[in-house]
Structure 1
Amino acid sequence: MADEFEEFFSEGTQWVNGTGTPAPEPAPETAQSRRELRRRRERRRRNGMMKIVAVVATVAIVAVGAVFAYRAILSWREARLSGGVSDVQDYAGPGSGEAVFTVESGQGAQEIGENLVDAGIVKSVGAFTSAVTAADATLYPGTYTLKLQMRSVDVVKILSDPSQAGGFLEVRPGERLSDVIAAAVQVSGLAEDEFTAITSGGGSGILPAEAGGSFEGWLEPGTYDVQNRTAEEILRQMVDARIAKLDELGAPSGDERERILKIASIAEAEVNRDDYYGKVARVIENRLTQGMNLGMDTSLAYGLGTTAAKITDADIADASNPYNLHQNPGLPPTPISNPGDSAIKAAISPEEGDWMYFVTVDLETGETKFVATEDEFWQIRDEYKNNNENAN
């Protein structure tokens, strides 16, 4: 500011002497004085830039301080929850005694960790959640038998193993009704008769009318809490979940919904890869359109209560089995399993194609080939035989 005043008075003011007459004109500005003015202007610019830099640096320091303060608050909170002073405190393990611990459906790692700390199983929430993240683990609902004062990594290994969960029933895509009931009996402790009395009685009040009294295909894959529940309650929650999922996927209603489940169940049983379901569904639709028997071994095996690998020529020739689609036209009387989402989506919207046949040519990889003509079918059938012979 002083420099600006000096420049103003030196350039724009006429000085007078004591008598009031103008003073002599100052000497013309020299090159040296002009250089000095430029230096002054440059100093002012540098000073202005330094002020801007100082302001930016101050803002950055405040922001960094805020981040560290936020992290410190989180660490303090974790320490409070874990009963310690650090969010990475952990027991040395392996633990002692016995602790029964339940993970409820919908709980996240943070909530589970807090409950584990309260139960005296892990030392801190931070150590537990870090172990979950490091292992990229999925924690399954269920009741587990643990120990007190365990290492967090050991707890994560157990909680991410659904085979060690008790009290929760896991229904997998493609499982048959008989498989689901067997698992429900084991997990719930209820007698098998309590389930079969309902499933063989038509499921009145549980199943929709289009199911035709059969639970097959109407049990939604997923994990269910079966503790302290009746057989009817267990079956009802699986059927209700199936209906909700079909609604969500946009499946048609009425008899068409049962038809979709039949096709999806065959696709689920015939191949083991999601990208094949739509093609299998198209083969089924093409054969039905052409009036051709479906000839699916998986349906026949379902009717016999066995696997496709165990059916015989006599089984194939027996038309009395309504699930024998070699001899009987159309779809099976009921779905042959409880299909998952991918198979149901494929049945609702099959891929476009002229395929009429398919063969899984490599049993190890599941590679399946789809063709339109009978000649092509025998070619891929020979490929299957050659691969199978080489494998043996």
Structure 2
Amino acid sequence: MSPAFRNDDKSLNWRTVGYWARSVFAVLLSLTVLVGGGWFVYSKAHDAYIAWRTTDDYIGEGTDPVEVLIPKGASITQIGDILTEDGVVRSTKAFRQAAQDSGQADKLQAGRYELKKELPAETAFAMLLDSDNLVRLKVTFPEGTTDAEQFEIISSKLDVDLETVQKAAKQTDKLASLPEFADGDLEGYLFPSTYEVAEPVKPLSIFASQITQFNKIAEKLSLEGRAEDLGYSPDEVVTVASIIASEVSNVEDQANVAAVIYNRLDADMPLQMDSTVHYAVGKSGTVTTTAEDRKSDSPYNTYVHKGLPPGPISNPGETALEAALHPADVDYKYFVTVNLETGETKFADTLDEHNANVAEFQQWCQANADKGLC
């Protein structure tokens, strides 16, 4: 302890200590008030600055993600209005200025974009120029799906009213690329694949893309020329391919199924394909038909009517079309899928052999009755 705090007898001078302590406290209190007041002033100034800076524009890196749809033909002002309404930019004015300063306003494209809320207008504009931020809307149609099944996919996956899709399908006069041999029917020509879809979704545009893809594959496979070599019309070959796509799931079996179809036609035998009966009666989900189903007088019922049905029963992919154009060189007249999970299919020349295969299929169905596939 400093001598200044002691009496002559070296004992503590509590009056001096107390005076010193009060002085130190006063200094500390003054500093606290000074610093606290300074921080208060700084905080207020900073808040005022931020408020001034964000009157027309945000600063920072944005907050929550948001999807924004920019319609085709929208002006810069209209885009700015959309972004402002969706909370992406603070004002249309700021976005319009950012677009003008960039000199790239003419490069903005319509589409759905993944952006963030509360972005500086310059950042928002740059993100719209970056194609990586485009949300690409896609739809997939599996091979062997019917038109009706594809319409359901468009409706459910792309959020389009089913009736709207069905009405569009009747406007085939607007689909200039539909082959003449299709005779105005979409069944068989809506090529199954995955397609990018522009917004707003227009079913006719989707159909046009599918038909364009069909035409590319048809040209690649020389559909019309090869069909003539086989002695069939292009539409008849597409019909054969549609049956193949509906009957078997394994690509390696498709050429053999094609052979069965042509062999039965050559022998003047009814095709007796359950897939055509399913199409006739509007059934799906199982592979078998009932005796009542097979009594249908529909021209698509190949148990009742000999020859090919009047048109395709589904939309075949490339491998099914290839098989229909290049059937296997075999004498098979019968086939049956004996395991519906693996798709294992057995072929036969004679009815006795076929009946033995059918018995194997029935055993599988009995052992797997709980799967509801038969």
Query: With structure 2 as the length reference, what TM-score do the two structures score?
Result: 0.59
Amino acid at match of 1:174: G
Q: CA deviation at 1:230?
A: 2.8
The 4+ residue runs of structure 1 with deviation greater than 6 A are 142-148
Aligned residues: 243
1:332 has 2:309 as partner = yes
Q: Which residue number corresponds to residue 178 of structure 1?
A: 148
Structure 2 unpaired stretches of 5+: 1-62, 70-110, 118-134, 370-374
Displacement, 1:273? 0.2
* Partner Cα separation in structure 2 for residue 391 and residue 324 of structure 1: 28
Pairing 1:291–2:268 present: yes
Residues 119-153 of structure 1, C-alpha deviations (whole Å, 9 max, x = no match): xxxxxxxxxxxxxxxxxxxxxxx9797999xxxxx
CA distance in 2, matches of 1:313, 1:371: 23
Consecutive unaligned residues of structure 1, counting only runs of 5 or more, are 1-95, 103-141, 149-164
Relative contact order, CA 8 A, sep 6+: which one is greater?
A: 2
1:175 deviates by 1.2
User: 2:207 aligned with 1:235, yes or no?
Assistant: yes
Aligned mate of 1:277, from 241, 249, 254 = 254
- Shift in Å at residue 240 of structure 1? 1.4
- Select which of 189, 205, 218 maps to 2:189: 218
- Inter-partner Cα distance in structure 2 for 1:355 and 1:271: 15
What do the CA deviations read for 1:79-101 (whole angstroms, capped 9, x no partner)?
xxxxxxxxxxxxxxxxx732449
The residue number in structure 1 matching 2:41 is: none
Q: Deviations over 1:175-229 (max 9, x none)?
A: 1111212222344444333332242354454322211221011011222324235
**1:302 Cα deviation (Å)?**
1.1
Stretch of structure 1 that moved more, 249-258 or 263-272? 249-258
Give the fraction of aligned pairs with identical amino acids, expressed as a percent: 29
Relative to structure 1, the CA distance from residue 310 to residue 383 in structure 2 (aligned partners, 3 Å threshold; closer, same or farther) is closer
Spell out, residue by residue over 1:311-359, the C-alpha distance to the aligned partner (whole angstroms, 9 max, x if none). Answer: 32111022x2111100011111221111111111101101110000001
- Separation of aligned partners in 1, 2:319 and 2:342: 19
Is 239-248 or 347-356 further displaced after alignment? 239-248
**1:311 equivalenced with 2:289 (yes/no):** yes
Tell me if 1:379 matches 2:351. Answer: no
> How does the TM-score come out when normalised to structure 1?
0.56
1:253-281, Cα deviation, whole Å (9 max, x unpaired): 68722112111111111111000000000
Distance 1:351 1:146, change over 3 A: farther
- Which of 180, 200, 209 aligns to 1:209? It is 180
What is the root-mean-square deviation of aligned Cα atoms in Å?
2.9
- 1:193 and 2:170 correspond: no
Residues 287 and 144 of structure 1: CA distance in aligned 2, closer, same or farther (over 3 Å): farther
Contact 1:294 1:330 in 2 (8 A): yes
Note closer, same or farther for the CA distance 1:232–1:262 as it changes in structure 2 (3 Å cut): same
Q: Who is 1:169 aligned against? A: 139
CA distance change for structure 1 residues 364 and 182 in 2, over 3 Å: closer, same or farther?
closer
Q: Is the 8 A contact 1:262 1:334 kept in 2?
A: yes
